[in-house]
Structure 1
Amino acid sequence: MVKNNTPVLVGCGQVTQKIDNPENAKEPLDLMKESSLLAIEDTTVSDLVKKIDTVMSVRFIFDSGGGRRPPFSIYSNPPKSLADRLGIVGAKTYCGPTGGNTPQYLINILSEQITSGETEVALLSGAECFSTMRKASRLGIKTGWGEDAGGERIDLGFERAGGTDNERKHGIIFPVSVYPLFENAIRGKKDHSIEQHLDYLGKMFEPFTKVASNHPNSWFPTFRNAKEISTVSENNRFIGFPYTKYMNAIMEVDQSASIIIMSEEKANEFSVPENKRVYLHGCADINEVWNVTERPELHSSKAISLMGKKALEMANWNIDDVDLFDLYSCFPSMVELGREALEISPNSKIPLTVTGGLPYFGGAGNNYVTHSIATMMEELRKNNNLKGLCTSNGWYATKHGIGLYSCIPFEGDWAREQPAEYQKVIDESERPEVDESPNGKGTIETYTIANGREGPQMGIVIGRLNKNNNRFIAIATDDKTLSTMMEEECLNRDCSVSKNSDGLSIFSLG
């Protein structure tokens, strides 16, 4: 029997806006209103806006730590602005932290609040209008977005830079130059040549494009075969080697998604149809060793592995019980890290996405996972015996979340282990010593080459010094080195590294 204080997801809505003229585009809060109304309608509950006591919003990418400031003002209290637009009065308003893990993080918090009685009926909503924002910026148009809604906004979580100053100086800034470092480390673990691995990546992401081609809210509803994804062409240049353009998350989208979650007691009181109810059977949040250069391994994630075990234990599921997946897919390496850590069979025929993934469905900034959970709800409702798993990720495979969903009722006391308890395992793990002033001979653990439209621009390596095995990160920008890195194998290659007059660690190939 389902207990009255069990959290249950009962409504979902998604919208995608494709408009060429930014002056005609809806602003983020209006897209959130639109997807929220769809989620409210999805519950079949009349006058639900009068019953919502909590509104949580996912932080906009332009309002996130390290994000570029847009050509318009910032919303002072997005969840309050949304509540006002919907006619929700007196609700508590919360705003999530930076990170693609945020939607699941907020679902987990709301579930705890519902269990404790702090919340009864909640709306979670988010949107990104990065496409319109960029178009407006290019045209020099001020959109006029932003407002001061007043009210008390409660910020959840914490803000922290994605890496150390030394990492940022050496290219650990934009994800397009960081996830390829994981990819080449994975390639080395698999003992793939560059050509073999590109073919492998194309085959891995081909099914994602197929799913995206059939999703009504996809930004790119286009099927691409493996060869098209992996082959460099005029429209598919290298970005961060070995990734081609078609392997990268696309943030220039206008998309919004919203979810209604409430207690089982309220769902019964409001006569929410049982075939609308989706239960969170297991969940967890965890952070990887925060700084990339301090991680013991760059080809695997012990944090995701531990997180998965905690969520599966809570649900009393095995990974083989899962029928539907949506693994966070900003880049191929994120899918691979998740698949291996969760011990999903590489021979499984189950697609690893229900949306099509961030490169094809759309990489809606911090809010993508609201779309994946909403889509998972829709898929689970088609067969109430199915079980689904969604993962989430922020920064550089740094912040992780997981949710296990099913229409199968959750029985017993809904309670999860507090993340702080198992976070200790990661925080107390051994990690390499990082030398920020490396000098001498070394060996390359992994590498990438950041490419612009005209070709290679900067090489980045993470390696170990031969004299003491300390970790280092270094860069190179000379044409000869970049050309060699694009054409030859550099994993486990000898190199030399030293500081230049600008305080940058520069490497040369042996």
Structure 2
Amino acid sequence: MTDPARIPVIVGIGEITDRADAADRGPIGAEPAGLMAEALRRADGDAGGGWLPRIASLDVVNAVSWPYADLPACVAALLDHRPAHLAYGPVGGETPVRFLHEAARRIARGEVAVAALCSGEAEHSAGAARRAGLDPARDATPPWTVPDPAWTNPRARDYLHPQALRHGLSQPVVVYPLYEIALQAAWGQTPRRGRDESAALWAGMSRVAAENPHGWLRRSFAPDEIATPTPANRPIAWPYTKLMVANPVVNQAAALIVTSLGLARAAGIPEHRLVPIGPGAAASEPRDWLSRDRFDHAPAQDAVLEATLRRAGLAASDLTAIELYSCFPCVPKMARRRLGLPADAVSTVAGGLTFFGAPLNGYMAHAACAMVRRLRDAPGRAGLLYGQGEFVTKHHALVLGGRFDGPDDAPVSVQDEADRRRGPVPPVAEEAAGRAVIETHTVLFDREGAPERGVVVLRQNQTRLLARVPAADRATLAALTDLDRSPVGLAGPLRRGRDGLLEWEAA
């Protein structure tokens, strides 16, 4: 593709981090729609101004911290401009990457001349207001949009297996540890080695966040601080501590403006500030995590990363920067190995979801802004954005930078390849007796750091089942949290608890 009118480039980026101690800020701060509108204005200013009235396509990343009836319409009203294409995305951490890819393809097809995307959350303000007994729709300055009484939380998990719901494994923070434990065993690591790898990786991310002016936690953390449970770094779900999980209690927003190379040149924007949008790919795992073949790989992740680099004609070593989604350590650790990167590779340009901040579905919009800044300083070089959503479920990768060629016209989905790589899925049994073997597990902790219970994913013959380890079974919990021996493959007897759930012990 050589027609400048069909080559998509990023011309403007905007970010905002709204802190409670900022000057001239009210006690509550701006609502998500206001943060998004301000991020778009900043992106417009970054692009030289005059682009907002020309936006024909605006994608809004799903926001959860405030119940809007029509969030895109609120953002458009604040901008005093309603694009012809105004869309609201589903829940998923990969959606900013998908929206950026879709915007590029609209430009390449000649459907629109200017496109944009934005994200924003104000969970920190909303939570602080609740604790103080304040109503942001009444007490903020200006007041937040009146909440929609019919709003339902888009993070409902009714698609999960009933056994997962009964055992309380319905939130990412308690499911990703199942992948971490299974991966450690598959890689031949003791839990201690796996924890130390995670802590070193996260410490590197904290150093990047400390240098990012838009970061939420702007200081470096040592690996020991991240790995060691303390009252300030309590264990959340084994083997993860608080400093190893995403931090959604932030007020942050981001926006990007995309147009064609031809229009950008006509506007007089220097070419070193134009970042081309290259090829990408997407695929998903079965949405119900119990319906997957194994927990020590992610075929969709593998297929997406490989296809994206192949379509761009790049090897991982050609990339000047990467952003590997970092809600929990298992995700970038898997991706790093698939890409063949060294253990000390810096896998973020923004700072990671723990330290930069995790505005729920919007983090990768901030990562894209950080990538643009990096590539503006390295004209002609390329970077990789990789985002994922739900429970290692939805995967999307995209190359930025490189030559002014534009995205290829191959189908975005590589789902067939992901499905081809997946093995047979064991059926989930709800009734079982006798002995069963650990496939993976986690231990859940209360806010004081005491174990509430363990949950084990077990295999018995050709079936999979879930069972609880009660807090009173200290011997089994000790085996599950042994840093020097993985319990994967350990066998033990099953029994039925008083509430009807299966229980398991190491014996």
Q: TM-score, normalising length from structure 2?
A: 0.90
Contact 1:162 / 1:395 at 8 angstroms: preserved in 2?
no
Alignment RMSD (CA, Å): 2.4
Per the alignment, residue 290 of structure 1 pairs with 287
Q: CA deviation at 1:509?
A: 2.2
Per the alignment, residue 380 of structure 1 pairs with 375
1:326 lines up with 2:330 in the alignment: no
1:441 lines up with 2:444 in the alignment: no
Post-superposition CA distance 1:382-427 (Å, at most 9, x none): 011321111111111111111111153126x731324166367259
Gaps of 5+ in 2: 138-143, 149-153
Post-superposition CA distance 1:288-312 (Å, at most 9, x none): 1322222222122111110112212
Distance 1:378 1:162, change over 3 A: farther
Q: CA deviation at 1:234?
A: 2.3
Post-superposition CA distance 1:13-58 (Å, at most 9, x none): 11101116974311111111111111111111x4222211111100
Per the alignment, residue 92 of structure 2 pairs with 99
Q: CA deviation at 1:148?
A: 9.1
Quick one: distance in 2 between partners of 1:501 and 1:159? 28
- SS of alignment partner, residue 300 of structure 2: helix
Post-superposition CA distance 1:234-282 (Å, at most 9, x none): 2112111111111111110000000001223332333332122111212
Q: CA deviation at 1:223?
A: 0.6
Distance 1:300 1:459, change over 3 A: same
Q: Residue 112 of structure 1 aligns to which amino acid in structure 2?
A: R
Contact 1:287 / 1:423 at 8 angstroms: preserved in 2?
no
Quick one: distance in 2 between partners of 1:503 and 1:6? 60
Match of 1:203 among 187, 200, 209: 200
Q: Residue 17 of structure 1 aligns to which amino acid in structure 2?
A: D
- SS of alignment partner, residue 396 of structure 2: strand
- SS of alignment partner, residue 336 of structure 2: helix
1:405 lines up with 2:404 in the alignment: no
Quick one: distance in 2 between partners of 1:367 and 1:127? 6
Per the alignment, residue 248 of structure 1 pairs with 245
Per the alignment, residue 236 of structure 1 pairs with 233
- SS of alignment partner, residue 324 of structure 1: strand
Contact 1:49 / 1:87 at 8 angstroms: preserved in 2?
no
Matches within 5 A, 1:362-377: 362-377=357-372
Contact 1:59 / 1:126 at 8 angstroms: preserved in 2?
yes
Distance 1:225 1:421, change over 3 A: closer
Q: Residue 221 of structure 1 aligns to which amino acid in structure 2?
A: R
Matches within 5 A, 1:73-88: 74-88=67-81
Contact 1:293 / 1:472 at 8 angstroms: preserved in 2?
no
Distance 1:383 1:120, change over 3 A: same
Quick one: distance in 1 between partners of 2:341 and 2:200? 16
Quick one: distance in 2 between partners of 1:359 and 1:264? 35
Distance 1:38 1:404, change over 3 A: same
Distance 1:188 1:158, change over 3 A: closer
Match of 2:455 among 460, 466, 470: 460
Gaps of 5+ in 1: 63-69, 150-156
Matches within 5 A, 1:172-191: 172-191=169-188
Q: Residue 133 of structure 1 aligns to which amino acid in structure 2?
A: A
Q: Residue 451 of structure 1 aligns to which amino acid in structure 2?
A: F
Per the alignment, residue 12 of structure 1 pairs with 13
Quick one: distance in 2 between partners of 1:270 and 1:79? 27
Per the alignment, residue 140 of structure 2 pairs with none
The more displaced of 77-86 and 481-490 is 481-490
Post-superposition CA distance 1:356-384 (Å, at most 9, x none): 10011001100000000111001000011
Contact 1:36 / 1:258 at 8 angstroms: preserved in 2?
yes
The more displaced of 476-485 and 369-378 is 476-485
Distance 1:184 1:159, change over 3 A: closer
Contact 1:136 / 1:142 at 8 angstroms: preserved in 2?
yes
Match of 2:128 among 130, 135, 158: 135
Per the alignment, residue 388 of structure 2 pairs with 393
Distance 1:392 1:87, change over 3 A: same
Quick one: distance in 2 between partners of 1:330 and 1:158? 16
Per the alignment, residue 346 of structure 1 pairs with 342
1:479 lines up with 2:472 in the alignment: yes
Per the alignment, residue 38 of structure 1 pairs with 42
Contact 1:444 / 1:493 at 8 angstroms: preserved in 2?
yes
Per the alignment, residue 51 of structure 1 pairs with 54
Quick one: distance in 1 between partners of 2:71 and 2:269? 28
Post-superposition CA distance 1:191-231 (Å, at most 9, x none): 22233332222222211111111110111011111111111
Q: CA deviation at 1:61?
A: 2.4
- SS of alignment partner, residue 134 of structure 1: helix
Contact 2:33 / 2:120 at 8 angstroms: preserved in 1?
yes
The more displaced of 393-402 and 87-96 is 87-96
Contact 1:461 / 1:473 at 8 angstroms: preserved in 2?
yes
Q: TM-score, normalising length from structure 1?
A: 0.89
Q: Residue 345 of structure 1 aligns to which amino acid in structure 2?
A: L
Q: Residue 245 of structure 2 aligns to which amino acid in structure 1?
A: N
1:305 lines up with 2:302 in the alignment: yes
Per the alignment, residue 499 of structure 2 pairs with 502
Quick one: distance in 1 between partners of 2:228 and 2:445? 15
The more displaced of 437-446 and 15-24 is 15-24
Per the alignment, residue 67 of structure 1 pairs with none
Q: CA deviation at 1:89?
A: 4.0
Match of 1:266 among 239, 263, 266: 263
Distance 1:158 1:400, change over 3 A: farther
Per the alignment, residue 190 of structure 2 pairs with 193
Q: Residue 47 of structure 1 aligns to which amino acid in structure 2?
A: G
Contact 1:22 / 1:135 at 8 angstroms: preserved in 2?
no
Quick one: distance in 2 between partners of 1:317 and 1:282? 11
- SS of alignment partner, residue 353 of structure 2: coil
- SS of alignment partner, residue 359 of structure 1: helix
Match of 2:160 among 163, 167, 187: 163
Distance 1:207 1:158, change over 3 A: closer
Quick one: distance in 2 between partners of 1:404 and 1:280? 6
Aligned residues: 487
Q: CA deviation at 1:487?
A: 4.6
Aligned sequence identity (%): 26
